[in-house]
Amino acid sequence: MRAEAKMGKIIQKARLLNSADASQALAGKLSQSKVRHLEVELLVDTGAAVLCLTPSVIERLGLHKLHERDVITGNGLVKRAVYEPVRIHVRDREADLNVMEVPTGTPLLLGYLPLEALDLYPNPKKRVLEGNPQYDGKMVTDLL
């Protein structure tokens, strides 16, 4: 009898930066040491659309609320706050993404739109994110 590989959740380490701070630092208006940033662990959730962070993480990054959006959750239709972008770094890739707030106690989620922006694919057997196999794992942006 052959042992099958167990599939499971994927936890991905990432570095998050306040995108506005990073832009100010790039323009020379803010010291690089003043750019608010955090190292976090994100649960890869292909059922979630966006990058979801808790209020404490949003506050530590100094993000400003943009608007609220209706979202479908396991508890039905609810309103969730959307915040200005963070710059996310995963492995050798980065992207600027708006953030949706999730309740305290909810895991930080990396949804399918950020995965697409980073050109990463979940491998549930290995429990890792991998680069696009079509391009030997290199990041390639699809403009078609």
CATH code assigned at 120: 2.40.70.10
In a domain, 26, yes or no: yes
Q: For residue 8, is pLDDT > 90?
A: no
In a domain, 143, yes or no: no
In a domain, 80, yes or no: yes
In a domain, 31, yes or no: yes
Distance from chain centroid for Cα 89: 9
In a domain, 131, yes or no: yes
| Residue 134 burial (10 A CB sphere; 0-12, 13-18, 19+) | exposed
In a domain, 1, yes or no: no
Phi and psi, residue 39, nearest 5°: -100, 130
With a CB cutoff of 8 Å and minimum separation 6, the contacts of 55 are 101, 103, 104
Number of compact structural domains in the chain: 1
In a domain, 109, yes or no: yes
In a domain, 2, yes or no: no
Distance CA 70, CA 81 (A): 9
Candidates 123, 7, 105, 94; CA nearest to 56 is: 105
Domain interval for residue 126: 11-135
11, two tokens:
């936890």
Candidates 45, 42, 66; CA nearest to 54 is: 42
The model's pLDDT over 37-80, given as tens digits with 9 standing for 90+, comes to 999 999 999 999 999 999 999 999 999 999 999 999 888 999 99
The model's pLDDT over 109-137, given as tens digits with 9 standing for 90+, comes to 999 999 999 999 999 899 999 998 888 88
